[in-house]
Every structure is written in C-alpha cells, then in structure tokens.
Structure 1
Amino acid sequence: MSQYAAGPVAALRRIAFLLERAREDTYKVKAFRGAAATILPIPDDELARRVDDGTLTELPGVGASSARVIAAAVRGEVPERLAKAESELAGPLTDGGGDGLRALLRGDLHSHSDWSDGGSPIEEMAFTAIELGHDYLVLTDHSPRLTIAHGLSAERLTRQLGVVEAVNAHLAGSGFTLLKGIEVDILDDGSLDQTDELLDRLDVRVASVHSKLKMDAAAMTRRMVGAVRNRHTNVLGHCTGRLVTGGRGTRGQSQFDAKAVFEACAEHDVAVEINSRPERRDPPTKLLELARDTGCLFSIDSDAHAPGQLDFLVLGCERAEAAGIDADRIVNTWPRERLLAWARK
C-alpha cells in the first residue's frame, strides 16, 4: 500500500480503481478521478502550498474527501480513505482463475470508454490496462443504433480511430497496443450496425444483440447465425443477454438454437465471448459447455465500462477453468500478432 502514498494522483487513481472494481456508485468514482485529473498538471510546490493554506477545495473538481486524500499523500502518509479501500475492496474477486489461466491472458477484447457508455477517457483505460499487465486492449465502444449508450456514428468512430492512433504514438516503446475495435449491434435481420468500410478499418469486432431480446427463438437463431457468418465478426458478445444480479435488476436469457449458433461460430472461426461481468456470467454454464463441446474458440472479456472493471477478467477465467477449456482455444491468450492475423481472416 505504501506505493500509493508516494503521490496524490496515484492515491486518487487507486481509490477510484478499487471503487470501480467493487461496482460502487459512479458519482463516488468520478469525484476521485476528477480530482486526479485536476491536480495532475499542478507543480508539486504549488500543491504543497495549497495543502498548507487549506485551499485545495478551491480547485475545480476537488471536494473535501479528495482534498483529505491529496493532503495526506503530499505529507507522505497513506490517506485514510485509501487504507479503507485497500482493506475492504482489494481482496481477490474469486477463489480460482487467478494463478492459472488469468496469468496467461495477454489482453482484453471488450471495453468501453466515455465515448459511449463508459465512465473514463480512452487514455485512462489504456493506462490501467498497462498497470494490469496487458499487452493489448481492444476499445469496443457501441455502434450508432444503441442510442441509449451514446453509440458512435460513422463520423465519431472515424474521429475515435485518430485518437487511438495518437494514444499508441504516445505509448510507443511501452510494449502495449490499444487496438481499434467496436461492439457492433446485431440488427434484427442479422446484419451489423456499421458500414463495411469502417468495419474493415478495425482490428477486432465484437458483435452483440442488445435489442428485442425476447424475439422468437427461430428468428433469433437466424439473426445470430447471420451475424456470425458476416466476414467482419470476430467475437459473439454476451450471447444470451441475461442479467443475473446487479443494479439493473435481472433479465432472463434470449431463446435460440444454441447448437446451431455455436456450430456457425466453429465453422466461421468466431470466438464465443465468456463475459466476465458479475451481473452477466454469459453464457450460462450449460451453454458454455455446449460451446466447448462444439469446438468453439473463446474470448474471456471484461466488458469493462470503467478502468477498475478491467480486473473482472479473473471471474471469466474461473468459469473457463471450471469448464475445462484449453488455454489455446482462448484467443486472448495469444500474442498480439497471432490475434490480429486471426481477426483479419
């Protein structure tokens, strides 16, 4: 814990990370991340003067709680709020998956930034992925149809690709790459919610159903198989759409011919996502085992909407280990070049 006492920005970021990891209220997280962004460019001597003068809260985005964290860190102490978060929130998320399969994962193929419905800037997602030991992270903000999640129009996605290139230029030599991606909606007829030209420019594409989840089973099967057969689709995201817990309540799983869908995945080299979000646990165990027995590839993804949620991967690893899925069938255990060669099929 002493490593976070070295600087106030690190202390604030660590508190936010732990709160996100525990799925605490967003407003709590934003208070600490906002304060970290405010003080980042401020020289150490000015920050120390503000601590002595008691004027930290005059800075935009710095409230009483974050000011106490900053003041303690500036004095070389471990902030009380950080110590509390470490004690209550930093423990293992699961009993399994951490020492085995999780150590083999090279990256994460499903993450969101504040360009759609995530809570943090692209840069913060990338920096946290580096801190977690990732070699790569695929940025997969939503496509236009999902307006509730501020999905990206073709114009906004084009601008985002430029931002990703700028981030990678800044991180050159780090050994980490932010990959261009999308979580593209599967439309009612099985087509994908973005232009072919833009999909061609991406590194990895996750295709997911987000609407009409109670569609008739035969129609849903045709819809999903159609998307899997699309040459752009690399990963079939959270295939049943279920919610088993959490603040959004629960939701039953979509009905479809899982064998037909997974056979299409195996035939077209599309990975079935093991979605690691605690409220999803998708696919359910029986379908996960069916996909395993059908010969599918898999991708263990965090579906992170905040930097701290990138740590959810261990939950998916625990499920994959319980299902006896061989590590080489999990595409994000692969080195970046092998992953990209597969995704560019």
Structure 2
Amino acid sequence: MTPPPAVLVLEDGRTFHGVGYGAEGETFGEIVFNTGMTGYQETLTDPSYARQIVAMTAPHIGNTGVNDEDPESARIQVAGYVVREPARVASNWRATGSLGSALRAQGVVGIAIPGTRALTRHLRDRGAMRAGIFSGPAATASAEDLVAKVLASPKMEGSDLAREVATTEPYVVPAIGEKRYTVAAVDLGIKSMTPHRMAERGCEVHVLPATATAEDILALGPDGVFFSNGPGDPAAAEGPVTALRGVLDAGKPFFGICFGNQIFGRALGLGTYKLRFGHRGINQPVQDRRTGKVDVSAHNHGFAVDAPVEGPFDTAYGRAEVSHVNLNDGCVEGLRLLDRPAFSVQYHPEAAAGPHDATGLFDQFCEIMEASK
C-alpha cells in the first residue's frame, strides 16, 4: 500500500514534507527529539511523552517490530511520531507485529521525512515548540491554515498532565521472593519496569493515583515513598507537591525520579524552569558530585529544577544539596536532603530502555528504608 502524503508543520512556520507513517489524520503536540539508537517501543509507551511529538534521530526505526514484553504502559503515549526511514520488514524472534501496524491500530499519526537531521538541528537552534503532523487529506490544506491550527494547540507550559496518564485505581505489584519492604509509589506517569525493579529487591509496591494525598499514602504504613516520572509542567502540579510535603513532614524515606525529582524540588521550596530543548535519549552523562562517578543515563524531560549547585542550602526540611549534575549543560540532575532520608534524580534508573549504570539507586532506596526501620 502506497503511504499517503504528509507534512510536519512547526509553530514558527518551518515545514517538512514526507509520507504518512501510522494512522492518517492530524495530531498536535510539543515536538522534541530522542537520541536513542534503540528502545523505540519503550519510548513510545512511556507516559512521560504524553502530548509530545517525538522525532527519532536514529535513521532506521522499526527494524525489530513490536512485542508484548517491552511496553512501559498499556498503550502508545506519544501524540505523534517522526522517523527518517521506517523498516520495511520487522525481523526479531520476539516480534508480534510491525511498528507501523501498531501505530495504525492505536490511531497514532506519524510521518517519515528525509530531513530528520535538519529538523533536529532546527530544534536545537530554536528550542522545542508546538507542531502538527497532517497526513492524507489533512495534508492538503494551505500552509497558513496548518500553521494556524498548530498555534491554536495548547502549550506544554502550564499543563498538568500527570493525572491524565496515571492509574485511576490503586494496584499492587507484589515482591519477587521474600517481602522486605512496603513502598507507596505515586503514579505521575510511571513506567512498568520501575515497580518491577523495586519488586526484584523485595519491595511490595502499592501504586497510587497522581491525586493521592499524604493521608492516602501514609495510610498504607509504608517503609518508603516513591514519586515516579511523568509528563507536563511541574509548576502546575500542586497536588503532588502538597502530598510530598506531608510525606516529608512524617519523616518517611523518599525516592523520586524525573518528574518526581521536580516535585521534590518544589516541595523543598525550589523553582523549576523549561529547558530549551530538553534531554531525551539513553546517552546522557550525569556526575555524582559526592563521588565524582559518571553514569551514562536514560532521560526524558523538558523541565529542570532551579537549585544552587555549589554547597548545601537550607530548606524547611533541613539542609539539602544538589547531588548530581548533567555534564552536557550543567543542569540539576539530583537532590538530596542531608538531615532526612530523602533523595531524587532527574533521570531513569529503571533502564527500560537504556544503560544499567544507575540501577543501584534502587538499592540506595532500600538502604535508607532499612536504616529507618
């Protein structure tokens, strides 16, 4: 079947013509680029990508098809998908179908363009922005009309998206082997591998909706509390900030990742800001400022915490410090309280997809829970 014509339109008027990939129609979101060479299925199903059009910098996408083992949530989460050259044949012993068929089945509008490198350079120069993909009959409208549609779509700033992708009902991920700890995990857009990593370490993980209050969390009598990754602007997420302050007031051990790191920063009284084009991929170098060790890490975030990097600083919960920094741009990649058992990182230690350098952070979480018993 010959793919239909399609066009990618950015809010600054830049357009890229190509052919449709996935479902026909139109879609809108913030366009970002992902530098991962592998792990496209985990990327597509990561709830942190809600309302984002993801452009892959790797030239060939879909080679290994899709399977039933690698999804990080129940569905594809991206608003749209941009690739250079879709695989014509899916070839892998685990594959249950092609990527293109999965995109069509779930109504995800995509485009294949020859200029993904030019698109990436444009976004690195101009920053992330709103965009639209129009394929099939939708691509025949005038350029002016398409740009107007993009400009009418919502911005990422001010968007409270966690509750849109989080579970609506609590559920439990049982410990693998002997149960050692009870963890209350607030789902702000959690990936399925994250509670699995804790379950591997003997944690019974009670996953709660993004709307969970401190009372809901503490009613479980947890040994520790976890706040997950997720989409949207942390400055708009008032409920999770209030809930976390209640957890910190109770002195419970805390671990947060990605969006959870930003919520932790806000709970400590820090601000957040939008990065020019964010970090998305599985090759970001992050340094532990205490040990000097560098981990290559998996990232997916467009916002960061504004915190003083040099030296400890005071908060309502005692002294705190920036524990990790990004070696590419120096932004804050982790926070740690010095007087209470609480820490967070901006990256994804569950390694799905991504390097395994940072999986020891789950062991650190278990250590502070053990020490607090």
TM range (shorter): 0.3 to 0.5
Select the structure that is richer in helix. Answer: 1
What TM-score results when the alignment is normalised by the length of structure 2?
0.32
What TM-score results when the alignment is normalised by the length of structure 1?
0.34
Select the structure that is richer in strand. Answer: 2
